[in-house]
Structure 1
Amino acid sequence: MLKVREKIAYGLGDTASNIVFQTVMMFLAFFYTDIYGLSPAFVGFMFLAVRIIDAVTDPLMGAFADRVQSKYGKFRPFILFGALPFGVISVMAFTTPDFSADGKMIYAFVTYTLLMLVYTAVNIPYCALGGVLTADPKERVSVQSYRFVCAFIGGLLVSSLTLPLVDYFGAGDKAKGYQLTILVMSILGVGMFLLCFAGTKERIQTQIEAKRPFKEDFKALWQNDQWRVLSLAAIFLLTGNVLKNTIAIYYVKYYLQQPDSITLFITLGMLSSMLGCMLAQPLAQKVCKVKAYIGLQLAAAAFCALAYWIAADQLWFAFAAFMAWNFCFNAATPLLWAKMADAVDYGQWKTGVRTTGMVYSSIIFFIKLGLAIGGAAAGWLLSGFGYQADVEQTEQAKHGILLSFTLLPAIGSVLVALVMRSYLLNTKKVAEIHQDLQQRGQLGDTAG
């Protein structure tokens, strides 16, 4: 059994990651359109193009990490050496040089691309690290629960402090305020990455032939049918999630017409997400992870869709629906990541090849594809419904914001639930796979 301090140390890595990830999810589109002056249509195109470019590198990063042999392990070195570049480029992405209109678009495109690439270089190995801390299925859920509670602490820092710090540091200059706010958060994030590196240990150690062609890894990966199920689910999951979170600020500012409540709205959402993550471990001990995950996605879809019928003046109902959606949606998140580790074991059991980095990175490829589609859809939907930055919106634009925040993301969760009906690695099956791998001597879970 892993010590609590190691689970917390691992979780701090996602606190650091989410300081950037949640800032991108919640504020970057708004920053680009309302602070830096880019058009929503261009922002939608950029989100799609950059995230697709970035996503293509994910499986290559995973295959590369699988081949690393060092005194620090396969995955921890990337956290150590990637922390500082991650912090520096995060600040660059929220810097607004006084360029021409074309220059601004080029600068945004380049810095956002660099941000996503360095995020890949750190986050792919970080995610894979969670699959080699322990082979115990229950401990894996526990590790992921700690991880995502810590992740949402990072999100909570972003949601509760970003706008107040922007006002404090900027003193009326929001561009300067965003830059200095991200600088402070990046310094904090670098420190947390270093604590994550120092406080964790890789226990499942598998030798991999460094000269084995990458195509052999891809072949073994494709034979893993449960990986394919998770990958498809990831696209639908993140498309809906990113669309809803990107539109959230617009929903509060322009549909509810409560711009001063933006921080409170997203902060309460983060707190609800944390509570949901805390539920994951006790839920997994009582209910099959697969059934629990499907049920939570359907509940999230119901609360998301319900908000469509909440009037703009029913403020507390709007808050309650958003909190309920966050609770259900993110109670399912640790279960999903624990299932990724199970899919790694399944692939090894089926093919004889263990590709931890490849499984995690390729699923993250589809997560980022969902990020790309959801982020692009947000920009295009805003543009299509006639959104104009920082003015009174037309009724058509308000309805478009409402639709993009409620019914459209709900469809994503319903599709996830349907896809996960084909996922076969329930509690009983995972136990059988582990027993077989241990008999073969292929599950090298070392003590300590």
Structure 2
Amino acid sequence: MGEQTAKAPGLNRAKTYQLVLFPLNNGATNVYYVLVLSYIATFGSKVLALSMIFASVMVTGMRLFDAITDPIIGALMDRTNGKFGKFRPFMVIGNLIMAASILVLYCLTPLIPASSMGLRYAAFVALYAVWVIGYTFQTSCTRSGQTVLTNDPKQRPLFTIFNTVGSLLGMGAMQFFAPILAKNYEGGYASAGFFRTLAPVGIVISILLTILAIIGIWEKDQPKYFGIGGEVSEKVKLHEYVQIIKNNNPMQRLMVAGAGCKLALSIATNTTVLCMLYGCMMGNYDGLYLPMMVLGYVFSVPFFLLTVRTSQKEGQKASLMKYVSVAFICYIGVLVLLLLWGRSDAFTLSIMGGNGLSINLYTILFIAFFGIGYGAYYATADMPIPMVADCSDYETYRSGNYIPGIMGTLFSLVDKLVSSLSATVVGIAVSFIGLESLPTQYDPYTPGMNWVVIVLFCIIPMVAWAATLIAMKGYTLTGEKMKEIQAVNACRRDAVANGMKLEEAMTKWQSMDQLPVEYRS
């Protein structure tokens, strides 16, 4: 896997430690994915006593702000090429902005007197807006930085598995610590003390992961890896981005697929949904949440390996479609089981009883369908991320423009829109059964809550997966096509480096059969 051993001309391979460390940037931002997007609506409604609908809908409404900041930050990244590279400055600045805003939000805003409710609303919105900017800075680097890390079609799929490991270190750590910390405070997730403790823990984990990610990309974050033209690449004007994306059909389809995968993951793993499922419906949140979470991760491991193997053999498109289909089929079984819930004591989840292990057929079937389905969709949830690099390379092949920043921020925008949409969908769904605040693990079952869980936990993810499959059916960047794109880009890059004009190189080499023999291997 060494960078310089037995490689074709112009092929850029990453070293093993680079492939392992750089994806930890996604883990660093996923810490905040859990810290903010999983809990901010609960924090707003329970701790700050804001309107539940406001706290939920505001998270999505703030994406209008994102629609402005994302392309600006993407364009800024594409134009950046300083002493510390193109990506590292955005990783550092983004993480520091998120840390400062969340520390103030979770630790200081509860100190605002309840009599100054207007100030609470203003602080909540302002600090969340600041956090959004920092999140855009750092998340866009995960997507755009892959273009310099490696362009080897055999290596790029490996980014998915290392990216997932990084995600687990960030997201998994927060999901593990949160329920443990919640037990120490009266009111659990509704306690201000819980958020004062969780925020610093998450910030420390995120900073450590960011440092490791910076080490991973350090050597690659330099001009010779920046597209065809390197240091002399033509700067793309902001108004040209709309036309570029309009002509990049694979990117359009990938944005739909990424949205589908992210929506399924963000709603099905939303804390409120899981509190209703394991706590309010099944009556044993503490005994079910962590075991089911661990089982889901265990089932994910073989699927991570399968997705990489399939991607390397058949391309990332084939891999994504195959395992999203597996998730869809398995969740039909989960849906049937939830529809049967409550018919008798046998139709409920049970793992541990008063006398030890107490597991029934319903639980065994649920574990099988949920475990396989969760393993399949969790393994594919981040698969569109390395595919963004393919779309960026395709744009370089198509137009000669190297714009990983705008590609990364466009995908980041979709990611955040969908992630925040989950909070709004959950809040609105809960309001239909007459609740004025988001339920926690300590709240009793409310009539109709089972239907809310069925819709949020099963039906919406299944619709999202269907949209993913439809979008990817017409996705043209197959494994074979990416080999051609990388070979053509490499030939053009070497020609430009030797003095040929970019326009001439773009015209002279457009397909594999036009390339010199050494580029066809």
Count of aligned pairs: 445
Equivalent residue, structure 2, for 1:394: 446
CA–CA distance in structure 2, aligned partners of residues 377 and 56 of structure 1: 23
Q: What is the deviation of 1:3?
A: 2.5
Whole-Å separation in 1 of the counterparts to 2:268 and 2:336:
16
Residue 5, structure 1, aligned to residue 22, structure 2: no
Give me the whole-angstrom Cα distance separating, in 2, the residues matched to 1:386 and 1:49.
Answer: 23
Matches within 5 A, 1:363-402: 363-388=411-436, 389=439, 391-402=443-454
**CA–CA distance in structure 2, aligned partners of residues 262 and 34 of structure 1:** 21
Q: 1:97 corresponds to which residue?
A: 111
Equivalent residue runs for 1:196-211 within 5 Å: 196-200=213-217, 201-202=219-220, 204-205=225-226, 206-207=230-231
Q: Percent identity?
A: 19
Deviations 1:147-167 (A, max 9, x none): 221111212111111121243
How many Å separate the matches in 2 of 1:103 and 1:265?
40
For 1:339, the equivalent position in structure 2 comes to 387
Which of 27, 38, 56 aligns to 1:44? It is 56
Deviation at 1:397, TM superposition (A): 2.7
Q: 1:269 to 1:112 in 2, by over 3 A?
A: farther
Counterpart Cα distance in 2 of 1:265 and 1:38: 32
Residue 434 of structure 1 aligns with which residue?
486
1:258 to 284, 299, 302: 284
* Structure 2 residue 140 is the aligned partner of structure 1 residue 140: no
- Is the CA contact 1:47–1:376 (under 8 Å) kept in the aligned structure 2? yes
Matched, 1:26 2:17: no
| Aligned-partner Cα distance in 2 for 1:120–1:366 | 11
Measure the CA separation in 1 of the matches of 2:404 and 2:322.
Answer: 28
Deviation at 1:308, TM superposition (A): 2.2
Mapped to 1, the partners of 2:379 and 2:65 lie a distance apart of 30
2:335 is matched with 308
Q: What's the CA shift for 1:321?
A: 3.6
Cα gap change, 1:443 to 1:188, in 2 (>3 Å): farther
Q: 2:97 aligns with which of 55, 63, 85?
A: 85
Counterpart secondary structure, 2:86:
coil
Query: Secondary structure, in 3 states, of the residue corresponding to 2:148?
Result: coil
Equivalent-residue separation in structure 2 for 1:171 and 1:400 (angstroms):
23
The whole-number CA distance in structure 2 between the counterparts of 1:168 and 1:178 is: 12
Listed as ranges, the matches of 1:36-435 within 5 Å are: 36-95=48-107, 96-100=110-114, 101-168=117-184, 174-200=191-217, 201-202=219-220, 204-205=225-226, 206-207=230-231, 212-246=236-270, 247-260=273-286, 261-273=288-300, 275-310=302-337, 311=341, 313-315=348-350, 316=363, 317-388=365-436, 389=439, 391-435=443-487
Write the distance in 2 (CA, Å) between the matches of 1:179 and 1:272: 33
Q: Which runs of 5+ in 2 are unaligned?
A: 2-13, 343-347, 351-362, 498-521
Give the distance between the partners of 2:255 and 2:310, measured in 1 at CA.
23
- For the Cα contact (< 8 Å) 2:170–2:205, is it kept in 1? no
Q: Indicate the larger mover: 403-412 or 380-389.
A: 380-389
Amino acid at match of 2:137: A
In structure 2, relative to structure 1, the CA distance for the partners of 1:298 and 1:368 (3 Å cut) is: same
Distance 1:208 1:235, change over 3 A: farther
The one-letter code of the counterpart of 2:237 is P
Distance 2:49 2:370 in 1: 29
* Aligned position for 2:517: none
Please state whether the residue corresponding to 1:385 is helix, strand or coil.
coil
Judge conservation of contact 2:433–2:447 (CA < 8 Å) in 1: no
Distance 2:275 2:199 in 1: 18
Q: Output the CA distance in 1 between the equivalents of 2:77 and 2:136.
A: 12
Which position in structure 1 is the counterpart of 2:519?
A: none
Structure number having the greater helix percentage: 1
Q: Is the contact between residue 26 and residue 167 of structure 2 (CA under 8 Å) also seen in structure 1?
A: yes
CA-CA distance at 1:45 after TM superposition:
1.2
Deviations 1:128-174 (A, max 9, x none): 11221111122111123212211112121111111212434789893
What amino acid does structure 1 have at the position aligned with 2:165?
A: V
Distance 1:368 1:443 in 2: 39
**C-alpha distance in structure 2 between counterparts of 1:428 and 1:443, whole Å:** 23
Structure 1 stretches of 5 or more lacking a match? none
What SS class does the counterpart of residue 94 from structure 1 fall into? Answer: helix
**In 2: Cα distance, 1:426 partner to 1:291 partner:** 8
How far residue 395 of structure 1 moved from its aligned partner, in angstroms, is 1.9
For the 8 Å contact 1:137–1:342, the answer to whether it is kept is: no
Deviations 1:386-427 (A, max 9, x none): 235454232213322232211122111111111110101101
Residue 329 (structure 1) shift = 0.8
Quick check: 1:55–1:364 contact (8 Å CA) kept in 2? no
Residue 27 to residue 404, structure 1, CA distance change in 2 (3 Å): same
Taking structure 1 as the reference length, the TM-score comes to 0.90
Q: What's the CA shift for 1:269?
A: 3.2
Distance 1:22 1:85 in 2: 17
Change (3 A) 1:17 1:274: farther
Where does residue 502 of structure 2 map in the other structure?
A: none
Separation in structure 1 between the aligned mates of residue 301 and residue 98 of structure 2, nearest angstrom? 25
Please identify the structure whose Cα radius of gyration is greater: 2
Cα deviation code 1:339-386 (max 9, x no counterpart): 211111111111121211111211222222222332211111111232
**What is the DSSP-based 3-state SS (H/G/I as helix, E as strand, rest coil) of the residue aligned with 2:252?**
helix
Change (3 A) 1:99 1:409: farther
The answer to whether the 8 A contact 2:307-2:380 is kept is yes
Q: Does the residue aligned with 1:332 lie in a helix, a strand or coil?
A: helix
Alpha-carbon distance in structure 1 between the residues aligned to 2:68 and 2:373: 31
Counterpart amino acid of residue 398 in structure 2 = K
Structure 2 Cα separation of the partners of residues 90 and 402 of structure 1: 32
Q: Amino acid of the residue matched to residue 286 of structure 1? A: K
AA paired with 1:194?
I
The aligned amino acid for 2:487 is Q
* SS of residue matched to 2:204: helix
1:16 to 23, 28, 47: 28
